[in-house]
Amino acid sequence: MAHILVTGWTPQHQGNEMLKVTMSKDKPAYPDFIKKTNNWMVISPEGMIKTYAVYECPDDKILDGIKAIGRRYTYYTQVEGYKYYPEILFEAQDIINMFL
């Protein structure tokens, strides 16, 4: 099972607008094989609302998963100043093994 981390940043003054967009029924749905496992929010020192979301995706559907997540998060970019960055997470031991 692959894990995908998406970090998003929203200017604090756009918080209400982001809430409207997030609650919208029009946003793209995730496919059934994507499961959100965690979701956190903080206020960054730069005054941004920073979000972290972790998704699980079957290994054989990583490309489709990244595309689906991208469609959803691109929808949020209608909020001025919003940006996001997706990353595929690896087990630490898997990365260490690459260097052994």
Q: In the prediction, which pLDDT does 85 show? A: 97
With a cut of 50, which residues of the chain have pLDDT below it?
none
Pick from 64, 75, 76, 73: which is nearest to 34 by CA?
A: 64
Q: In angstroms, how far is the first alpha carbon of the chain from the final one?
A: 23
Contacts of 64 (CB under 8 A, 6+ apart): 31, 33
Q: In the prediction, which pLDDT does 29 show? A: 94
Which pTM value belongs to this model?
A: 0.88
Q: What is the 3-state secondary structure (H, E, C) of 22-51?
A: HHCCCCCCCCCCCEEEEEEEEECCCCEEEE
Q: In the prediction, which pLDDT does 97 show? A: 85
List the CATH number of the domain containing 11.
3.30.70.260
Q: In the prediction, which pLDDT does 91 show? A: 85
How many domains, in total, are found in the chain? 1
80: containing domain: 2-99
With beta carbons less than 8 A apart as the criterion, state whether 84 and 5 touch: no
